[in-house]
């Protein structure tokens, strides 16, 4: 019996030091992702109900009452933090190690405010996920600076988009989100307006451009966006490189 208990304790100890998975469980609304473990911090994106997420560490933050009770535990997921009260993990407490080194460090990125910095970090994190490196991050950030000044736009012409989290309302064709991606051509409004998933859509398109890695940043951005004003992206390239030097 003592051996069994000791083995169980060892297994629990090992599990608590590793990343874990959780499933978003809301009443149907998207779960907001924040730049810090606080409801007052900037919103960097959202997760759909039922989404499975990787939790690499947990932090103590604002107390929140949600579907799974009241808790101060926040889970760090790709793009930022979500309250644990809407994430099913099969455990009442933290399921991943503490965030000793804050994955999303405080302070603003060069030339950006707190909200923009949160979005830029989500874009940089997605660059890791899609394997495009710091160069790809710079192409994406330069694009975001030009298209929206790194803000999430909804569009009254795109049904349902303005009921999603947004910073401003646009009117350019069917364009929404940080990259001004046209919906439904690029994806659903939810995909195009979520900083992480919209960056993923951008990176997938970028990876389809032959030789983008050796192109000037502005040229690579134009290959993806096909803008009527192709020279604009190069003007923000240096800013983008400086931002990605810290965020990536």
Predicted pLDDT of residue 18: 58
Helix, strand or coil for residue 87? strand
pLDDT at 90: 86
Instruction: Give the pLDDT of residue 100.
Output: 61
Q: What is the pLDDT of residue 154?
A: 96
Q: Which residues pair with 58 in a beta bridge?
A: 75, 98
Domains of the chain: 2-88 (2.30.30.40), 114-247 (no CATH)
Burial class (CB within 10 angstroms; exposed 0-12, middle 13-18, buried 19+) of 7: exposed
User: d(Cα 200, Cα 140) in Å, to the nearest integer?
Assistant: 10
- CA proximity to 30, closest of 200, 188, 202: 188
The series of mean pLDDT values per 10 residues for the chain, 248 residues long, is: 43 50 91 82 83 86 87 85 92 77 62 91 92 96 98 95 93 95 95 94 97 97 95 96 92
Rounded to whole angstroms, the Cα distance separating 108 from 85 reads: 28
Q: Note the pLDDT tens digit of each residue in 204-229.
A: 999 999 999 999 999 999 999 999 99
Q: What is the per-residue DSSP string for 144-183? A: HHHHHSS--EEETTSTTGGGS--SEEE-STTEETTTTEET
Is residue 188 helix, strand or coil?
coil
**What residues contact 18, with CB distance under 8 A and at least 6 apart?**
96, 97
């Amino acid at each position: 019996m003592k051996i069994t208990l000791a083995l169980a304790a060892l297994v629990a100890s090992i599990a608590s030091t590793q990343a874990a998975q959780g499933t978003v469980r809301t009443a149907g609304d998207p779960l907001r992702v924040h730049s810090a473990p606080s409801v007052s911090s900037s919103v960097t994106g959202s997760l759909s109900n039922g989404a499975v997420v990787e939790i690499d560490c947990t932090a103590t933050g604002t107390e929140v009452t949600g579907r799974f009770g009241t808790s101060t535990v926040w889970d760090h997921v790709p793009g930022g933090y979500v309250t644990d009260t809407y994430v099913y993990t099969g455990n009442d407490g933290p399921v991943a190690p503490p965030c000793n080194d804050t994955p999303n460090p405080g302070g603003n990125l060069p030339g950006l405010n707190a909200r923009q910095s949160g979005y830029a970090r989500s874009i940089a994190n997605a660059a890791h996920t899609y394997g495009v490196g710091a160069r790809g991050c710079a192409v994406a950030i330069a694009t975001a600076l030009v298209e929206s000044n790194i803000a999430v736009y909804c569009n009254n012409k795109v049904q349902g988009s303005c009921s999603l989290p947004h910073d401003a309302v646009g009117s350019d064709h069917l364009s929404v989100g940080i990259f001004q991606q046209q919906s439904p051509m690029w994806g659903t409004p939810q995909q195009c307006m979520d900083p992480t998933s919209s960056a993923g859509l951008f990176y997938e398109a970028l990876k389809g451009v032959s030789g983008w890695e050796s192109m000037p940043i502005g040229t690579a951005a134009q290959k993806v966006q096909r803008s009527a004003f192709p020279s604009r992206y190069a003007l923000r390239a240096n800013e983008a490189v400086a931002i990605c030097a810290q965020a990536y």
